Amino acid sequence: MVVGIFILVSVIKSMIVLLVLLTAVAYTVWLERKVVGRMQNRWGPTRVGPFGLLQPAADGLKFLFKEDLTPPHVYKPLFLAAPMMAVIFALTSISVIPFGNSIPMFGYRIPLQITDVNIGLLLILGVTSMGVYGVALAGWSSNNKYSLLGGLRASAQMVSYEIALGLSLVGVLIQSGSFSLRDIVDAQGGRFFYVIPRWNIFHGQFIGFFIYLMAAYAETNRIPFDLPEAETELVAGYHTEYSSMKFAMFFMAEYANMITVACLATLLFFGGWHGPLAGPPLMRALLPVAWFAAKVFCFLFLYIWVRGTLPRFRYDQLMSFGWKFLLPLAIANLIATAIAVAW
């Protein structure tokens, strides 16, 4: 009954990953409030638990118990479906992200990844590209002009930046010759001159990383590209009409997307779980996961940092930045990489 074991292992892994992910989402929110608070010279959450650590739980409870308003004149089926779609696609893409090497357990080598697909990267791209529906449909079905504008902006913005995002990754793909995230990370092992790690960012992909970072911020609708929910112009953009758990779903989706994007950046440009190893075998097995988590944390911190620092773009600036700067730059980077590899 190998199939049974396989399904069992998969289910267990999925549950663990889901649990970790949701926890991470919750505490990313906490982290953001804390860090932004400090940046703005205030305390952030402090009352619930030590350092406000229980604040996410309190938020969750609040969302759960709030009244779930459904305004009149909305297009109900989609109004309900939109937040679900958003959160489903946000959570799906984590399934192909590897967190570390495989570890031996019960006579099997269990890869630290829900599933290793040899087109993992493409799958992530595909799933994140589906993510736009949640936002767009939420905006449309709300039957509210601010929501509609937010939804239109979101769909245009995400479709536009997806191109730059995809092209920025092609450089990495050319260098490692595989779509499999595990292969890409494996290709980044080792060092230059015994000192500099052989990560892609040090391996000629700095521009690619830059483009990826910009596009990823736009894809996740984060500052400075958070036009779909620009509070000052659109009230709250596409989720103006949402409340309670449905709003929480969008919230979760946004932070889950942030984490996915941070994971991807780590895997593609920062060597994934590669890092100095030491200690007993168990530690050697788990240390990579720690390295991976640390790198992802850095990216999440960067997200928050940027949010605390930068102002918002104007919409036409956003579009021309994407189409007239990032896209040509990504193509140039792709060509340069191709020439370098071929040569």
Partner 1 sequence: MTGTRKLSVTGNWKARTLTTALMSFHLILFLSFGAVCVGGTVNLLAQRHPINSALSLIAVMAALAGEYLLLGAEFVAAVQLIVYAGAVMVLFVFVIMLLNAGEEEETKGSRVAILIGVPGTLISSVLMAWVVLRHSGTEAVAIGALPGHPVDIAQLLFHDFLLPFEITSVLILIAIMGAVVLASKPGSAAGKVE
Q: Which residues bind partner 1 (CB under 8 A)?
A: 2-3, 6, 10, 75, 77-78, 81, 95-96, 108-109, 111, 114-119, 122-123, 125-127, 129-130, 132-133, 136-137, 139-140, 148, 151-152, 155-156, 158-159, 162, 166, 177-179
Q: Which is nearer to partner 1, 145 or 191 (CB)?
A: 145
Rounded least distance, CB 179 to partner 1, Å: 6
In the DSSP assignment, the letter for residue 102 is: E
CA 213 to chain centre: 11
Sign of CA dihedral 222, 232, 137, 166: negative
CB of 159 to partner 1, least distance (A): 5
Phi, psi angles (nearest 5°) of residue 50:
-65, 135
Write down the least CB distance from residue 295 to partner 1, Å. 24
Closer CB to partner 1, 73 or 109, in the complex: 109
Q: How many CA atoms does the CB half-sphere of 14 hold within 13 Å?
A: 11
String of DSSP letters for 264-321: HHHHHHS-TT-----SSHHHHHHHHHHHHHHHHHHHHHHHHHHHHH--PPPHHHHHHI
**95 by DSSP, 3-state: which?**
helix
Cα 148 to Cα 121, 153, 240, 315: the distances in Å are 31, 8, 10, 15
CB of 182 to partner 1, least distance (A): 10
CA dist 5 and 194 (Å) reads 42
Q: How near is the Cβ of 44 to partner 1 at its closest, in Å? A: 37
DSSP state string for 159-227: HHHHHHHHHHHHHHHHHHT-S-HHHHHHTT-SEETTTEE--GGGTT-HHHHHHHHHHHHHHTT-TTS-G
Q: Residues 132, 147, 56, 295: is their CA dihedral positive or negative? A: positive
Distance CA 36, CA 49 (A): 19
Using the minimum distance from each CB to partner 1, give the nearer residue, 48 or 122.
122
Shortest distance (Å) from residue 87 CB to partner 1: 16
Judged by beta carbon, residue 128 or residue 188, the one nearer partner 1 is 128
In the bound state with partner 1, the residue whose beta carbon lies nearer, of 57 and 80, is 80
Least distance from partner 1 to the Cβ atom of residue 60, Å: 28
Residue closer to partner 1, measured from CB, 300 or 334: 334
Residues 92 and 74: their CA atoms lie apart, in Å, by 27
Give the residue with the Cβ less far from partner 1, 130 or 235: 130
Yes or no: say if 275 and 291 are a contact pair by the CB < 8 Å rule.
yes
Least CB distance from residue 201 to partner 1, whole Å?
23
Closest CB to partner 1 among residues 10, 40: 10
